[in-house]
Amino acid sequence: MSELGDSELSLQKQTENVDENKINANNSNHEPPPKKHSSVVAAHYNHLEEKGLKERYNSPIFHLRNFNNWVKSVLIQEFTDKIREKDYGRPLRILDICCGKGGDLSKWQKVRPEHAIFADIAEVSVQQCETRYEELRRRCGRLFSAEFIATDCTKDTLRDKYKDPSISFDIVSCQFGLHYSFESLPQARRMLTNISECLKPGGYFFGTIPNANEIVSRAQKTQDYAFGNRIYNIKLLFDPKDGYPLFGAKYDFHLEGVVDCPEFLVNFELFKKLASEYGLELVYKAGFDHFYKDHWENHKQLFQRIMCFETYPAPNGKTLMGEESEYEHAKKYWDSKEYKADQNCIGTMSICEWEVATIYMAFAFKKLKCTQWSSDGKPTYTVSKETNQSTSKQ
Ligand SMILES: C[S@@+](CC[C@H](N)C(=O)[O-])C[C@H]1O[C@@H](n2cnc3c(N)ncnc32)[C@H](O)[C@@H]1O
């Protein structure tokens, strides 16, 4: 289990007093805000162009993308293994919420689920996800069955849109998307309801989000609360002098060729507290730097195969992705290596890409309660005998 580092301390201070009254007082207006922000996000993702292989290879964030994909693959692999350890052969049903264009389709294919539901607010992305799924099915012959839903997962009830609303999932995955729901308390609650209400007791919900503490601590070191490098820029749209609001802590995020829209900070202590109301208990959290340390040994083949790191020094006839000055850490290590003769290169990432990677964190929750529905269709969460023994190490 990893710690998130120094910035965690300031988060703890800020959230020590997060209780239900404060959460709700912070959002005295319980109506979700008008559609405007979500339309901006949907329009942004709808207009993102599909990149060809060559373009992706030449992208300034080639290794960062691969690294992010490695993190997602590891999460998917680790948590499906946990489920199968308990019940080998159980047909897995999964929900990929905020699925985008289906970047994780082939990762799901590897763990052979029986059925998967993909949901996202951006209609065009959902169509592309479906097209990719059909292509994959043509290529492999046999593939899991799937449903595709274009909807705002922070405002609409996903269960109403499933072919079978009594479906229960073994896994819910939300990759790089949950933070959009932290615009307001009702939106975060709707997202958590969508995530948890059909998740089986003993099932897992995992994902990746920007680490609010890391963002705020980097911003506090600047004059105008803006920072970045040649591939990313973040500008806070509020004054972080006294911390940040529990919801609606908005910032502009630009990541070369991938993201260019406003997002919201997720106060992790608050997220954890809210999630517990939905029967979810935190079982893992780590910044991407610690995630790498925790999982590299067991997943190094994939890490190397998908080229998460760049070769240093650059191989003959090739150049490094960034300026030489972005590899000082690698040079220092290279110069200090005792057995240089054994190894003619090392793997690394430019400091610019690493700065982006370490903005993010991964998390996983286990569903410890059963969902029951009241007569008006509202979910409630009751302790289940099967999962009453907590497995959390947090
Ligand atoms: C950075 S992308 C990640 C896509 C995918 N999970 C992946 O890892 O490749 C974030 C996704 O969240 C989706 N999203 C943002 N707000 C949403 C909302 N309110 N409801 C559903 N999806 C949303 C966006 O449309 C976008 O596809």
Q: Which of 35, 39, 45 to mutate to test the pocket of ligand 1 (most atoms within 8 A of CB)?
A: 45
Q: Is 394 annotated as a binding residue?
A: no
CA of 176 to the centre of ligand 1 (A): 7
**Ligand 1 pocket member 153 (CB < 6 A):** yes
Point out the least confidently predicted range of 4-18, 44-58, 93-107, 217-231.
4-18
Q: Is the CB of 103 under 6 A from ligand 1?
A: yes
Instruction: State the distance from the centre of ligand 1 to the C-alpha of 120, rounded, in angstroms.
Output: 6
Q: Under CATH, domain 7-27+57-299+357-383 is a member of which superfamily?
A: Vaccinia Virus protein VP39 (3.40.50.150)
Percent of the chain with pLDDT over 90: 69
Long-range contacts, stretch 17-22, CB < 8 angstroms, 24+ apart: 18/246, 18/267, 18/269, 18/270, 18/273, 22/246
| Residue spans of alpha helices (H) in the chain | 7-15, 20-25, 36-46, 53-57, 62-86, 105-111, 123-140, 185-196, 212-220, 268-277, 288-295, 300-305, 328-336, 351-357
Atom of ligand 1 nearest to the CA of 208: 8
Place of tokens 């492999």: 140
- The answer on whether 175 is annotated among ligand-binding residues is yes
What's the gap between Cα 80 and its chain centre?
Answer: 17
> Residue 115 C-alpha to ligand 1 middle, in angstroms?
20
pLDDT at residue 135 above 50? yes
Residues contacting residue 312 through CB under 8 Å, at least 6 positions apart: 320, 327, 330, 331, 334, 345, 346, 347, 348
User: Beta strand 250-255 with 232-236: parallel, antiparallel or unpaired?
Assistant: antiparallel
- pLDDT tens track for 322-332: 999 999 999 99
Give me the pLDDT at residue 141, please. Answer: 85
- Minimal-distance CA residue to ligand 1 atom 4: 100
Point out the ligand 1 atom lying closest to the alpha carbon of residue 68: 8
Residue type, 239: D
Taking residues 287-313, report their average pLDDT. Answer: 96
Q: Please tell me whether 72 is known to bind a ligand.
A: yes
- In the predicted model, what is the mean pLDDT of residues 58-77? 95
The whole-number average pLDDT for the span 258-284 is 95
pLDDT of residue 21: 47
CA of 100 to the centre of ligand 1 (A): 5
Residue owning the nearest CA to atom 27 of ligand 1: 100
Residue 101 has pLDDT above 70, yes or no: yes
The phi, psi pair for 33, rounded to 5°, reads -65, 165
What pLDDT score was predicted for residue 231? 95
Q: To the nearest whole percent, how much of the chain has pLDDT over 70?
A: 84
Q: Is 388 marked as a binding-site residue? A: no
Query: Which atom of ligand 1 lies nearest, measured to the CA of 44?
Result: 25
Selected residue with higher pLDDT from 169 and 141: 169
Is ligand 1 within 6 A of the CB of residue 108?
Answer: no
CA of 293 to the centre of ligand 1 (A): 27
Asked whether residue 98 carries a pLDDT value surpassing 60, the answer given is yes
Is the predicted pLDDT of residue 253 greater than 70, yes or no?
Answer: yes
- Measured in Å, residue 99 CA sits from the centre of ligand 1 at 6
Q: Are 170 and 339 in contact (CB under 8 A)?
A: no
379-383 and 310-312 beta bridge pairing: unpaired
pLDDT at 394 (0 to 100): 36
Confidence of residue 39 (pLDDT cuts 50, 70, 90): confident
Is 69 annotated in some ligand binding site?
A: yes
Boundaries of every domain in the chain: 7-27+57-299+357-383, 310-348
Element (H, E) at 286: strand 280-287
> Ligand 1 pocket: which of 49, 72, 98 to mutate (most atoms <8 Å of CB)?
98
- Ligand 1 in contact with 32 (CB < 6 A)? no
Cα–Cα dist 152/78, whole Å: 29
Mean pLDDT value across residues 364-380: 90
272 is in an annotated binding site: no
Residue 69 in contact with ligand 1 by CB distance below 6 A: no
pLDDT for res 33: 53
The pLDDT, as a whole number, for residue 49 is: 66
- The residue length of the chain stands at 394
The answer, yes or no, to whether any atom of ligand 1 lies below 6 A from the CB of 208, is: no
Q: Which residue puts its alpha carbon closest to atom 9 of ligand 1? A: 103
349 or 24, which is more confident:
349
Taking alpha carbons only, the member of 158, 68, 71, 81 closest to residue 112 is 81
CA distance 351 to 344: 21
On whether 68 is known to bind a ligand per the annotation, the reply is yes
User: Each residue of 330-352: b (16+ CB within 10 Å) or e?
Assistant: beeebeeeeeeeeeeebebbbbb
Question: Does 75 sit in the ligand 1 pocket, CB within 6 Å?
Answer: no
Verify whether ligand 1 is closer than 6 Å to residue 98 (CB atom). yes
Indicate if ligand 1 lies below 6 Å from the C-beta of 169. no
**Window from 29-43, 276-290, 369-383 with minimum mean pLDDT:** 29-43
Beta bridge partners of 373: 379
C-alpha to C-alpha distance for 71 and 292, rounded to whole angstroms: 8
